């Protein structure tokens, strides 16, 4: 297969174990399923005598073949993802990148691509080179980072969930998604510096806040949540519903559960993990470490209507029997998970996320021509030598398509894009400029391959005869939101 799915599959070393004569895996699925992929050596009794050098005896134990593991990966979608993630990393001149595609209804991983690639047949070259060793890992699983603004839909889901809990208790809601909220930079309790947006605004509602990725809005909303519901309730939703701080149990080695601060817990250096301004940071995707499988699962819950999913790479495991026939060791049962979020929480979130890829949003470059989609950008500073770097970033776009009854959740991560500003374009560090184009290309090719009929028949680029901008997906809604924003933010 060459580099196709290289980091996920891996291989076995040329040398075998000296005692058992068994193969030694180099990582990936080969390592996780080593015990069932390995066959068993047979045993035969052999008689020797002075006159007969060797006389074959009875077979005490016949040899057994190893089991076959059937994956959830679609090799065509995997090839598309690998082609496009390589193209985008090279185009922007980044250090690397990866793409994770998940079925939001089942949790099955459909594609998991990473560039630079890993060629399993040349494993020695990678393991003997400190510079290339990183390329042997599945970084979407092993690496954790602060996700940045892709956390904002989850923050607002928690705010909406708090409203539902207060309604159950017979209390008034914390906020109205249509509420006109003051988002001018200003002091917040516990912070020495005010939280700012990349561009200052005066007033926003929830849809504007996601469309334009407002830090101030989500910080103010989560402050209301913590004041009314408490820090432990907020943390509990992050962990128990969205799975942050927990292993996803994806079938790959080296998964990091990430870090989710705990109120009252003290760091070894004597400082508190959770202080007064911690919720503001969490709301914006900082002060928390996540892996990409956790994040994809969180968006799958939103995309599928609020139901739990378990991320997996395995459909079935079958073992050949010595006398013929097969034994099914594992068969994945696809059934709807428990409801984690009510429809009244999910529906307004999906609606708000649809503005992100339209004019006025943070990621028009993620708009999939001919189809509907919803998503969110993210840009976070990397921690280098214990301090935030102003030049090194992780740029992200995560979304799903079609927007209604989606076929996949797709997360694009670009590691360390160039810091330089490009006139007429902007900076590559922003997820809307760097990661969004790969989402568009992978999304379009994947939907076409899957045979999904276009659900935005007028949403095509300028110059395409099919284009009718005023009839395109979310045009009227975007125009109405634009007018309201301009009214609220007039000079």
| Structure-block tokens of residue 227 | 């004041």
**pLDDT value at residue 373:** 98
Which of the four pLDDT bands, split at 50, 70 and 90, describes residue 323?
confident
Closest CA to 113 of 139, 133, 143, 93: 139
Phi, psi (rounded to 5 degrees) for 415: -95, 120
pLDDT on residue 1: 56
Q: What is the dihedral of CA 87, 353, 344, 446, to 10 degrees?
A: -30
| Cα distance between residue 377 and residue 392, in whole Å | 17
Q: Per DSSP, what are the bridge partners of residue 289?
A: 259
Q: Can you read off the two tokens belonging to residue 354?
A: 């649809």
Read off the pLDDT band of 50 (50, 70, 90).
low
Question: Within 13 Å, how many C-alpha atoms sit on residue 456's CB side?
Answer: 27
Asked whether the predicted pLDDT for residue 345 surpasses 70, the reply is: yes
Structure tokens at 361: 């949003």
Cβ contact 224:175 at 8 Å? yes
Residues of the chain by 3-state class (helix, strand, coil), percent to 5: 35, 20, 45
Least confident of 8-12, 70-74, 108-112, 231-235: 8-12
- Residue 452 is classified by DSSP as P
In a domain, residue 45? The reply is: no
Distance CA 186, CA 461 (A): 40
Residue 227 makes CB contacts below 8 A (sequence gap 6+) with none
Tokens of 14: 């040329």
Q: How confident is the model at residue 52 (pLDDT cuts 50, 70, 90)?
A: low
Indicate the average pLDDT of the chain. Answer: 92
Q: Give the model's pLDDT for residue 476.
A: 96
State whether residue 426 is helix, strand or coil. strand
Q: What is the pTM of this model?
A: 0.93
Confidence check: pLDDT of 395 > 80 = yes
**What are 194-225's pLDDT values in tens digits?**
999 989 999 999 999 999 999 999 999 999 99
Phi, psi for residue 484 in degrees, rounded to 5: -65, -40
User: Rg of the Cα trace of the chain?
Assistant: 26
Note whether 258 and 147 are within 8 A (CB). no
In the chain the first and final C-alpha atoms are separated, in Å, by 59
Tokens 């690496």 sit at which residue?
Answer: 143
- Rounded Cα gap, residues 195 and 11, in angstroms: 48
306 assigned to some structural domain? yes
For residue 264, count other CB atoms closer than 10 A to its CB.
9
Helices assigned H by DSSP within 263-342:
278-283, 292-303
DSSP assignment of 23-90 equals --B-SHHHHHTHHHHS-B--EEEEE--SS-S-EEEEEEE--BPPPEEEES--HHHHHHHHHHHHHHHH
Number of C-beta neighbours around residue 308 at 10 A: 17
H helix or E strand, kind and range, residue 123 = helix 123-127
Q: Is residue 11 part of a domain?
A: no
Question: What crossing angle do the helices spanning 215-229 and 231-240 adopt, rounded to 10°?
Answer: 110
- Helix (H/G/I), strand (E/B), else coil: 4: coil
Q: Is 242 exposed, middle or buried (0-12, 13-18, 19+ CB in 10 A)?
A: buried
Residue 35 placed within a domain: no
Token pair of 322 as six digits = 């010595």
Number of domains observed in the structure of the chain = 1
Q: In the block, which residue shows the tokens 């998964």?
A: 255
The model's confidence at residue 22, banded by pLDDT at 50, 70 and 90, is low
Q: Strand 387-401 vs strand 374-384: parallel, antiparallel, or unpaired?
A: antiparallel
Domain membership of residue 240 (yes or no) is yes
CA-CA distance, 350 to 346, in Å (whole number)? Answer: 6
Percent of the chain residues past pLDDT 90, beyond the cut: 73
Which CATH number goes with the domain that contains 478?
A: 3.40.710.10
Minimum mean pLDDT among 234-248, 370-384, 424-438, 468-482: which range? Answer: 424-438
Inside any domain, residue 69: no
253 in any annotated domain:
yes
Q: For residue 47, tell me if it sits in a domain.
A: no
Most confident of 231-245, 312-326, 382-396: 231-245
| pLDDT digits 0-9 by tens, 350-384 | 999 999 999 999 999 999 999 999 999 999 999 88
Question: What sign does the dihedral 311-314-315-318 (CA atoms) show?
Answer: negative
Distance CA 195, CA 188 (A): 8
Would you say 48 and 68 are in contact if contact means Cβ atoms under 8 Å apart? Answer: no
Domain containing 469 equals: 75-319+334-488
């Amino acid at each position: 297969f060459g580099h196709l799915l290289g980091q996920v599959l891996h291989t076995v070393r040329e040398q075998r174990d000296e005692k058992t004569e068994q193969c030694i895996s180099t990582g990936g699925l080969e390592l996780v399923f080593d015990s069932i992929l390995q066959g068993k050596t047979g045993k035969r009794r052999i008689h020797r005598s002075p006159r007969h050098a060797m006389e074959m005896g009875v077979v005490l134990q016949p040899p057994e073949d190893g089991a076959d593991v059937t994956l959830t990966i679609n090799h065509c979608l995997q090839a598309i993802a690998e082609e496009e993630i390589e193209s985008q990393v090279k185009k922007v001149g980044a250090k690397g990148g990866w793409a994770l595609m998940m079925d939001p209804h089942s949790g099955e991983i459909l594609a998991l691509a990473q560039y630079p690639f890993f060629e399993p047949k040349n494993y020695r070259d990678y393991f003997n080179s400190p510079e290339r060793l990183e390329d042997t890992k599945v970084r979407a699983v092993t690496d954790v980072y602060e996700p940045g603004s892709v956390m904002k839909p989850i923050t607002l889901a928690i705010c909406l969930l708090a409203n539902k809990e207060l309604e159950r208790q017979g209390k008034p809601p914390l906020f109205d998604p249509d509420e006109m909220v003051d988002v001018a930079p200003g002091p917040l309790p516990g912070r020495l510096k005010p939280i700012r947006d990349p561009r200052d605004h005066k007033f926003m509602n929830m849809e504007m806040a996601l469309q334009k990725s407002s830090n101030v809005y989500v910080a103010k909303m989560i402050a209301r949540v913590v004041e009314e519901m408490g820090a432990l309730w907020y943390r509990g939703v992050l962990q128990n519903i969205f799975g942050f701080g927990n292993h996803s149990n994806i079938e790959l080695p080296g998964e990091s559960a990430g870090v989710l601060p705990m109120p009252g817990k003290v760091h070894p250096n004597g400082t508190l993990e959770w202080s007064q301004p911690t919720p503001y940071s969490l709301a914006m995707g900082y002060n928390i470490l996540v892996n990409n499988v956790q994040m994809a699962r969180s968006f799958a819950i939103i995309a599928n209507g609020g139901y739990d999913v378990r991320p997996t790479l395995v459909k079935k495991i079958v073992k050949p029997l010595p006398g013929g026939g097969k034994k099914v060791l594992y068969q994945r049962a696809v059934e709807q998970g428990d409801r984690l979020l009510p429809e009244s929480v999910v529906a307004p979130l999906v609606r708000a996320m649809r503005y992100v890829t339209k004019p006025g949003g943070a990621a028009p470059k993620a708009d999939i021509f001919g189809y509907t989609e919803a998503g969110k950008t993210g840009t976070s500073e990397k921690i280098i030598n214990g301090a935030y770097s102003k030049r090194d970033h992780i740029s992200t776009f995560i979304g799903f398509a079609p927007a209604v009854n989606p076929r996949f959740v797709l997360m694009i991560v670009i590691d360390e894009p160039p810091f330089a500003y490009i006139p007429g374009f902007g900076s590559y560090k922003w997820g809307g400029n760097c990661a969004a184009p790969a989402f568009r290309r992978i999304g379009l090719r994947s939907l076409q391959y899957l045979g999904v009929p276009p659900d935005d028949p007028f949403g095509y680029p300028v110059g395409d005869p099919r284009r009718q901008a005023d009839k395109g997906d979310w045009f009227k809604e975007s125009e109405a939101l634009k007018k309201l924003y301009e009214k609220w933010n007039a000079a």
